[in-house]
Every structure is written in C-alpha cells, then in structure tokens.
Amino acid sequence: MKFRVLVCCFPICLDFISFLLMCVCLGVAAATPFFWLLCEVKSVTANA
C-alpha cells in the first residue's frame, strides 16, 4: 500500500521539482541583465 502511494506521489514531486527549477532558471534569466547593469553603474560611479 505504501509503495502504491509513493508511486502516485512521485510524478507530483517530479513536476514540483521541475517547476521549481524552471522558476529558478527564469529568475536567473530575469536578474542577469539587472546584475550587469548594477555592475556597470558601480564601475562608472567608482571611476567618477
């Protein structure tokens, strides 16, 4: 019985993990331009 429950839950966990990974990837992709912009601003203000 416990094995059957595990088999039922496994795809849900797998979907959840892939969803989390997708969110992380999207977050990194969205944050990267802002990060570079921040570095540019910092280097400009440091040189000024």
pLDDT surpasses 90 at 26: yes
pTM: 0.53
Per-residue CA distances from 17 to 1, 20, 39, 45 (Å): 24, 5, 32, 41
Q: Which residue has the tokens 């989390």?
A: 20
**Domain residue ranges in the chain:** 1-30
Query: For residues 12 and 19, what is the distance between their CA atoms, to the nearest angstrom?
Result: 10
Residue in the block written with tokens 């990267």? 32
- Name the phi and psi angles at 24, rounded to 5: -65, -45
Q: Does residue 23 have a pLDDT over 80?
A: yes
DSSP-based three-state secondary structure for 48: coil
- Highest mean pLDDT among 3-7, 24-28, 43-47 belongs to 24-28
Instruction: Look at the block and give the residue holding tokens 């059957």.
Output: 4
Instruction: Say what the pLDDT of residue 1 is.
Output: 58
